[in-house]
Amino acid sequence: MRRLDLATGLVALALACGRPPATEPPVAAEPAPAPLAAAEPAPQTPPPKPASAGLDPAKAEATALRIMEEVARARALPVTREVAIRVLDRRAVRDFARDALHEQTTPAKLQLIGRIEASLGVVAAGADIEGILLDLLESSVMGIYDPKTQALLIGSHVSDGLLSMVVGHEIAHGLQDMHFDLKRYQEPMDGRSDAESARTFLIEGDAQAAYLAWVSGAAGLGAIGEAVLDAQGDQVLALSGVLEQPILARMLQLPYADGAATVVRLARDHGWGAVDALYRDLPTTSEQMLHLDKLLAREPAVAIEVDPAPLTARLPGYRKVWEDDLGEAALLAMLAEVESVKNARQAAAGWGGDRYLVIERGDDAAARRLPIVVGLLAMDTPGDADEIAPVLRAYFDRQMPGAYLLERRGERILFATQVPEQATRRAIAEVGWGAFRVGAARPPRAKEGARR
């Protein structure tokens, strides 16, 4: 992917930086190689730093050329041009990610993102968000498709056993680029993080679904059982205590797991043409990419507008520094920190929409104090609010004990993070509800469970 989704959804990296989830479905063995069709040469560009050791570049190129035509047939996207193949060492992967990150955001915005993530409990206070992201990428990225150079970049640390998996996923990004022009989907969507997350779910989920279609052989996507699709996402959500940044890791991995599951179900039931159509009319919420029925219905989020005036008037010295949304996927990654996978999914599945405002005093950044995030969560029904409220409270109790506000009215929940002072919590409770204007509720729908 060209960007890396955080809860605030603003950090841009690469449209295909990443790795498929750890869970591999029990599908057919790798298909036999097929000859590569002739294609136009890719534009000439200076090669990145070569790998110092490890994977043989000649083997990587031969494998990629062997696989591309077969993935193209499985995905129903014919090869229209050549894809350059290069092998990079871990340092070069980190350098690529750092350069892409700096192309998309400023140091000041990146620092603000880190402070907002810390306020939400996603990372620790004072964390170096750029270092965290680059460390995660350097340690976990196996392959990158770069649409700027139309090149597949493979990590020299990829083993022979994983090479076909990495190429199968990343070469699918090359096919996406040939037909949909991935550069169109690189721009950050400031203030619309959930829509940007949905876009990432589509691109990464489609690439992983194409890989799964390929390794399924003649049986196709029908060979992949529902339990296998469910297990991939559940493994991602179960990440806890095994990584330094489990919430962030969940956010980064969910598009490869739940996104892939949704695309597999869509392609299996409605054909690859239905997936192609999503590039012309992008999904607008991560909820749609978590639940196929909501994607097919194009169920929109509840519209919520926020006015900082009531809060800044009641809290002298505070000013608005950011406004955004979380979305169901980010909320799910957070709730899985304190609940079982099943219960976290069930609690998040009633999400209808949300909006949050970030306020701070002028000297807060210099003093390294965390900003206050004040948000409104609109659930589909009061019953859905009943389900999520105790789980969200447990999350805040764990991440910021005694320093948050959580109030509920019907199907709506008002929350504020990093407010240890009782007087500040009381002030937000008095005026916070009035800072948000909520649009019409969505039509009542039967809750079909947390997955589809």
Amino acid identity, residue 391? V
Distance CA 309, CA 314 (A): 8
Tokens 């090869």 map to which residue?
Answer: 79
Cβ atoms of 231 and 257 within 8 Å: the answer is no
Of 344, 313, 319, give the one whose Cα is nearest residue 240. Answer: 344
Q: Check residue 167 and give its pLDDT.
A: 92
Question: What are the phi and psi torsion angles at 84 (to 5°)?
Answer: -70, 145
Please name every residue paired with 319 in a beta bridge, in sequence order, or none if there are none.
Answer: 360
Cβ atoms of 327 and 370 within 8 Å: the answer is no
Last residue of a domain, one of 297, 325, 350: 297
Distance CA 396, CA 418 (A): 10
Cβ atoms of 154 and 200 within 8 Å: the answer is no
Please name every residue paired with 143 in a beta bridge, in sequence order, or none if there are none.
Answer: 18, 154
395 assigned to some structural domain? yes
Tokens 């010295």 map to which residue?
Answer: 317
User: Residue 452: exposed, middle, or buried by beta-carbon count in 10 A (0-12, 13-18, 19+)?
Assistant: middle
Distance CA 113, CA 111 (A): 5
Token digits of residue 148: 């700027």
Q: Check residue 92 and give its pLDDT.
A: 87
451 assigned to some structural domain? no
Is residue 344 domain-shared with residue 277, that is, in the same domain? no
**What predicted TM-score, i.e. pTM, was given to this entire model?**
0.86
Is residue 231 domain-shared with residue 335, that is, in the same domain? no
Is residue 365 domain-shared with residue 289, that is, in the same domain? no
Is residue 263 domain-shared with residue 192, that is, in the same domain? yes
Cβ atoms of 326 and 356 within 8 Å: the answer is yes
Last residue of a domain, one of 275, 297, 319: 297
Report CA-CA distances (Å) from 97 to 12, 14, 90, 123.
Answer: 9, 7, 11, 20
Q: Which long-range contacts (CB under 8 A, 24 or more apart) does 440-446 make?
A: 440/302, 440/303, 441/302, 441/352, 441/378, 441/380, 441/411, 442/299, 442/300, 442/302, 442/352, 442/380, 444/380, 444/381, 445/299, 445/380
452 assigned to some structural domain? no
Token digits of residue 131: 């270092």
29 assigned to some structural domain? no
Question: What are the phi and psi torsion angles at 35 (to 5°)?
Answer: -65, 150
Token digits of residue 345: 């999914």
Q: Can you give the pLDDT of all 452 residues of the chain as single tens digits?
A: 223 333 323 233 333 343 333 334 433 333 333 322 222 223 333 444 444 457 888 988 988 988 999 999 999 999 999 999 999 888 888 888 888 888 878 888 888 999 999 999 999 888 888 888 888 777 777 889 999 999 999 988 898 888 999 999 999 999 999 999 999 998 888 899 999 999 999 999 999 999 999 999 999 999 999 999 999 999 999 976 556 789 998 998 999 999 999 999 999 999 999 999 999 999 999 999 999 999 999 999 999 999 999 999 999 999 999 999 999 999 999 999 999 999 999 999 999 999 999 999 988 777 678 999 999 999 999 999 999 999 999 999 999 999 999 999 999 999 999 999 999 999 999 999 999 999 987 776 655 555 54
Cβ atoms of 131 and 1 within 8 Å: the answer is no
Is residue 115 domain-shared with residue 234, that is, in the same domain? yes
Is residue 323 domain-shared with residue 395, that is, in the same domain? yes
SS3 373: strand
Q: Check residue 239 and give its pLDDT.
A: 78
* DSSP 8-state secondary structure symbol assigned to residue 18: B
Q: Check residue 21 and give its pLDDT.
A: 38
Please name every residue paired with 404 in a beta bridge, in sequence order, or none if there are none.
Answer: 417
Beta strands in 225-349 (DSSP E): 304-306, 318-324
Last residue of a domain, one of 244, 264, 297: 297
Q: What counts of helices (H) and strands (E) characterise the chain?
A: 16, 10
Q: Check residue 444 and give its pLDDT.
A: 65
Cβ atoms of 395 and 334 within 8 Å: the answer is yes
Cβ atoms of 359 and 153 within 8 Å: the answer is no
Is residue 206 domain-shared with residue 266, that is, in the same domain? yes
138 assigned to some structural domain? yes
Token digits of residue 239: 């990440």
Exposed e or buried b per residue across 361-379, where buried means at least 16 C-beta atoms within 10 angstroms of its C-beta: eeebbeeeebbbbbbbbbb
Q: Check residue 242 and give its pLDDT.
A: 52
Tokens 């994607």 map to which residue?
Answer: 295
179 assigned to some structural domain? yes
Q: Check residue 449 and give its pLDDT.
A: 52
Structural domain count of the chain: 2
Q: Check residue 186 and give its pLDDT.
A: 84
Is residue 92 domain-shared with residue 226, that is, in the same domain? yes
Q: Check residue 450 and give its pLDDT.
A: 54
* DSSP 8-state secondary structure symbol assigned to residue 21: -
Is residue 256 domain-shared with residue 240, that is, in the same domain? yes
Is residue 135 domain-shared with residue 235, that is, in the same domain? yes
In terms of residue numbers, what domain contains 64?
A: 57-297
Distance CA 384, CA 406 (A): 15
374 assigned to some structural domain? yes
| Positive or negative torsion for Cα 185, 186, 191, 196 | positive
Question: 431: how many CB neighbours lie within 10 A of its CB?
Answer: 16
325 assigned to some structural domain? yes
Is residue 287 domain-shared with residue 321, that is, in the same domain? no
Is residue 95 domain-shared with residue 69, that is, in the same domain? yes
Distance CA 215, CA 209 (A): 10
Question: 39: how many CB neighbours lie within 10 A of its CB?
Answer: 16
Edge-first strand order for the sheet with 351-361 is 318-324, 351-361, 372-379, 412-417, 404-409
